[in-house]
């Protein structure tokens, strides 16, 4: 299902031959692509209406996945560096690290893929449940009913919660890695006894997990489940990251094998002012992309994400701002507290354009800064997503 073969072998040789390797772009891209596709496939296509909150939900989850994939890549490279110190000959090292490839890029990635897919499904389910709660005010925990269902989840099969309740949040799947359970909507007539969080936690507490010392509730808490990922808009909690207290801002162009801006710009065309008047630009775009506001217009970026361009933003060339969103040279992502920041960078010989877009659970994707920069490398940090 996942083939990291040549990319992993390239990384192995790079770690062996080079001191101080701490990251790998190929491994990041493969990991990020697999998990993002899983979530997007589970979540489904967003509404045609660009005012739909689905677009923000998708972006927040994809941003979470990007940080997770970067932390996992850092962890994998650290593991290879650790193993490197045990061997004197490359063939011995090369043979020894094959298990690392299997563990990180097959076994664990399969669990992450399945978790992302289920989270996408159940996140979309949750918002449909909220929207239809007048007709279907209850949900029922529903397993796949086959031999793969773990005992603790089988014990929850048929348990009922009121839509929007604390229990609804707690047992909204996934309730563990590789969980395939869903919540089924019920009408008033279909709902039987309504369960409580205390009852459900007691069932999990009394359920053993294989030969593990922990009970099922301990496992749920330990691995960061038992939360409503539809509301937090994250596939992986911080406790599930491979690197604790991960700071992606420490990743710089050299970690991706990229040249400095001074090196890149020698071969680029120069920037020329488009002479597009800002007032005229806003008049032309008024009402476009389902936004009719005197204070902002809605643009789209290279992935067709809707981006709010406030009229009060001070930037003299709105055409070039739009160009930086739709045809960026690079895009970098970092998280600052609860807010994600994307830097859209457009490189020219004589200057660079930087457009900063912020998003969080309470803020649609909005441009907060747009500037021309002569020195841009300080903004090239984090997870490079384009």
CA distance 194 to 158: 10
Task: Tell me what the mean pLDDT of segment 97-122 comes to.
Answer: 96
pLDDT band at 85 (very low <50, low <70, confident <90, very high): very high
Averaged pLDDT for residues 36-43: 96
pLDDT of residue 214: 85
Mean pLDDT of 295-312: 95
Nearest Cα residue to 251 out of 4, 16, 100, 28: 28
**Mean pLDDT, residues 20-29:** 96
What is residue 104's DSSP assignment? I
Reading the block at residue 335, the tokens are: 């998280």
Rounded mean pLDDT of the chain?
94
* Cβ proximity of 328 and 345 under 8 Å: yes
DSSP H or E segment with residue 230: helix 229-232
Instruction: Pick the more confident residue, 291 or 89.
Output: 89
Rounded mean pLDDT, 188-192: 93
More confident residue, 5 or 144: 144
Return the pLDDT at 267: 92
Q: How far is CA 137 from the centre of its chain?
A: 30
How far apart, in whole angstroms, are the C-alpha atoms of residue 252 and residue 385?
Answer: 13
Q: What pLDDT does residue 47 have?
A: 79
pLDDT at 179: 92
- d(CA 204, CA 206) in angstroms, rounded, equals 5
Question: What CA–CA distance (Å, rounded) separates 149 from 31?
Answer: 27
Rounded to the nearest angstrom, the gap between the alpha carbon of residue 170 and the centroid of all alpha carbons in its chain is: 21
Under 8 Å between Cβ of 115 and 39:
no
**pLDDT over 90 at 9, yes or no:** yes
Cα 40 to Cα 51: distance, rounded to the nearest angstrom: 19
Task: Give pLDDT tens digits for 191-225.
Answer: 989 999 999 999 999 998 877 778 999 989 988 89
- Span 329-343, pLDDT tens digits: 999 999 999 999 999
Q: What is the DSSP letter of 378?
A: G
Token pair 């972006």 is found at 59
Compute the distance between CA of residue 213 and CA of residue 206 in angstroms, rounded to an integer.
12
Instruction: List the end-to-end C-alpha distance of the chain, in Å, as a whole number.
Output: 24
**HSE of 136 in the Cβ direction (CA atoms, 13 Å)?**
15
Encode pLDDT of 153-168 as tens digits: 999 999 999 999 999 9
Full DSSP string of 11-45: HHHHHHHSTT----HHHHHHHHHHHHHHHHHHH-P
Q: How many CB atoms lie within 10 A of CB 161?
A: 25
The predicted structure's pLDDT at residue 257: 95
Domain ranges of the chain: 1-131, 132-239, 248-384
pLDDT of residue 243: 96
Q: Which of 45, 67, 58, 57 is nearest to 251 (CA)?
A: 67
Pick 63 or 212 by higher pLDDT.
63
pLDDT number for residue 126: 97
pLDDT at 291 (0 to 100):
87
**Residue 92: pLDDT band with limits 50, 70, 90:** very high
Residue with tokens 């960061």: 224
Whether 48 has a pLDDT exceeding 80, the answer reads no
Q: In this predicted structure, what is the pLDDT of residue 292? A: 85
Asked if 79 contacts 12 with a C-beta cutoff of 8 angstroms, the reply is: no
Name the phi and psi angles at 340, rounded to 5.
-95, 140
What one-character DSSP code corresponds to residue 317? -
């Amino acid at each position: 299902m996942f083939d990291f073969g040549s990319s992993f072998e390239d990384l192995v040789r790079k770690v062996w031959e080079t001191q101080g390797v701490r990251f790998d772009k190929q491994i990041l891209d493969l990991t990020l692509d697999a998990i993002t596709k899983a979530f997007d496939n589970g979540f489904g296509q967003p509404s045609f209406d660009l005012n739909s909150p689905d677009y923000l939900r998708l972006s927040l989850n994809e941003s979470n996945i990007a940080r997770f994939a970067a932390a996992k890549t850092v962890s994998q490279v650290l593991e290879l560096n650790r193993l490197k110190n045990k061997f004197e000959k490359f063939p011995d090292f090369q043979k020894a690290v094959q298990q690392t490839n299997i563990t990180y890029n097959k076994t664990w990635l399969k669990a992450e893929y399945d978790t992302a897919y289920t989270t996408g499904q159940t996140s979309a389910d949750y918002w449909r449940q909220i929207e239809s709660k007048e007709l279907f005010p209850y949900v029922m925990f529903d397993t796949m009913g086959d031999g793969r269902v773990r005992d603790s989840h089988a014990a929850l099969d048929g348990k009922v919660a009121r839509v929007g309740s604390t229990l609804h949040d707690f047992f909204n799947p996934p309730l563990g890695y590789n969980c395939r359970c869903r919540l089924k909507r019920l009408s008033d007539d279909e709902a039987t006894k309504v369960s409580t969080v205390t009852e459900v936690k007691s069932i999990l507490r009394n359920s053993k997990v294989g030969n593990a010392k922990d009970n099922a509730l301990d496992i749920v808490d330990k691995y960061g489940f038992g939360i409503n990922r539809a509301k937090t808009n994250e596939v992986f909690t911080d406790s599930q990251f491979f690197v604790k207290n991960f700071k992606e801002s420490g990743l710089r162009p050299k970690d991706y094998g990229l040249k400095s801006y001074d090196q890149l710009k020698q071969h680029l065309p120069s920037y020329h002012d488009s002479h597009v008047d800002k007032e005229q630009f806003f008049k032309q775009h008024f009402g476009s992309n389902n936004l009719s506001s005197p204070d902002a217009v809605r643009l789209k970026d290279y992935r067709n994400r809707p981006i709010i361009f406030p009229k009060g933003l001070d930037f003299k060339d709105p055409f070039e701002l739009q160009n930086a969103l739709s045809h960026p040279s690079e895009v970098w992502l970092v998280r600052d507290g609860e807010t994600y920041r994307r830097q859209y960078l457009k490189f020219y010989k004589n200057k660079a354009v930087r457009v900063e877009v912020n998003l969080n659970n309470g803020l649609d994707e909005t441009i907060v800064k747009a500037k021309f920069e002569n020195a841009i490398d300080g903004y090239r940090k984090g997870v490079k997503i384009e």
